Chain A
Amino acid sequence: MLKQRDVVSVDDIETDEMFAIFELAKKYENLLKSGKRISDFESKIMATFFYEPSTRTRLSFESAMHRLGGSVLSVPEPKSSSAAKGETLADTMRMASAYSDIIVIRHPLDGSARLASKFSSVPVINGGDGSGQHPTQTLLDLYTMWKEFGGFDKLTITVLGDLKYGRTTHSLIRMLSRFKANVNLVSPDTLKMPEHVISALPKNFKVNVTGDLNAVLPKTDVLYVTRIQKERFVDPNEYQGVIGAYSINLETTQEMKKGSIIMHPLPRIDEITPDVDETVNARYFQQAANGVPVRMALISKMLGVN
């Protein structure tokens, strides 16, 4: 099982391990609701290294560790400390593994978490590396779908928005490719899913690449919306055009099938209008909240207490 292993990519998690994480996450969710204290991890320490700011992800990890009864060493701005002095990430990881039982790293360079795992003697969780992978986001995304639909086979998932830079979508597609899910990739031409992501999928897993949301919306069970960043466009008019074509509003939800849901890794800007928040389809706030029990379950499996 996951005990003492690294989780850098979704490939590091076997399918049965993922479902075991989901079952445990559900248990933790209920425990949290009941207000019971968990103390199995009292002597365990997590170190978090966030080389780029992501308050949401960091708080979710740290909350998860505290909820498990463990403690957290946090280096909120490693840039101002060791890295600025020219220390390699390799050395920082060697040092950190002497102080902690598990490490979470988020770093702007692609592949940094893989490198960290090579030099750390304690298990490493990738909290997002460059435009690479973000496996815990994928776990909580799939957990959200699993709770809703009970599985992924025959599910139609439409991923919308910035599929080029949006790393959450890369891991998501990779994990979904293990199942008989139907995946639509909807984006403007300039923000298409990169070839290296698609070519890494199993040959028998077909994705439907399109720019036309309306064509796929009526059959969609899960509409997974991602943030489209203004900075990605040279021409501000082009950004306005894309937002106009792809933003989700009350009207969009009326085109959606009964029982379908809308997800978003957050923060959202203009991609989903606030009036969607109150609809039966909106799941993005629950999705974010699911991050804590899912990360609790993952940490628990990796530390091997449960």
Chain B
Amino acid sequence: MEENNKSTLKVSKIRDGIVIDHIDHGKALKVLSTLGISGGEEFTVSVLMNVKSKTMNSFKDVVKIERRVLKKVELDRISLVSPGATINIIKNFEIERKFKVEIPDSIIGIVKCSNQNCISNNKEPVSAEFRVESKNPLILRCVYCDRTMIQPEICHKI
């Protein structure tokens, strides 16, 4: 019993950092990899997978990262992996700010075009660029070759 309490405490409280909540279940590791976190870092990372969500009768993943801030491009990446994710910014054990990630209207340099014959996959000084044609379901259209991409392909190409 005591052992269990200790571990609960460990994952539920962080001093400074971020809690990414309501990640689609099974996507926690993908969220970490899109943030470039592999586990070899100096800071503590907690991963909870397949947690029963309080509000919905479903499962979710949660990721807690100490001493880490998120850049805009990283929030955009998370939004593509798990559009329902919420971000809690923690300062001194308190939630300083809480917000939902939002899929931007255009995606530049995050997703690679799935069309192998697309010029953006060639050695040219441009990043892959997409217009978000629909957010739910997510549909991206390549600015160069006009092809569309949907999940789970988008996730694979991040």
Contact = CB atoms under 8 A, between A and B. Distances in A.
Interface of A: 9, 86, 88-90, 107-112, 114-115, 118, 129-133, 195-196, 199-200
A85 B33 CA distance: 37
B118 A110 contact: yes
B143 A196 contact: no
Contacts, number: 60
Interface string B119-158: 1101111100000000000000111111110000000000
Given A89-B119, A130-B117, A110 B126 contact: no
19 contacts: A9-B146, A88-B124, A88-B125, A89-B119, A90-B125, A107-B119, A110-B115, A110-B117, A110-B147, A114-B143, A118-B126, A130-B117, A130-B145, A133-B146, A196-B141, A196-B146, A200-B141, A200-B146, A200-B148
A110 B146 contact: yes
Contacts of A195: 148
B126 to A, nearest CB: 6
Contacts of A111: 118-120, 142-146
Given A110-B147, A196-B148, 6 more contacts: A90-B125, A90-B126, A107-B119, A129-B119, A195-B148, A196-B141
Nearest to B148: A196
Contact of B145 (A88, A89, A118, A132): A132
Contacts of A118: 126
Contact of A132 (B124, B141, B146): B146
Residue among B119, B126, B142, B144 having the largest count of chain A Cβ atoms under 10 Å: B119
Nearest to B146: A132
B119 A115 contact: yes
Contacts of B142: 111
B146 A112 contact: no
A115 B147 contact: no
B56 to A, nearest CB: 31
Contacts of A86: 123
Contact of A109 (B119, B125, B143): B119
Contacts of B123: 86, 88
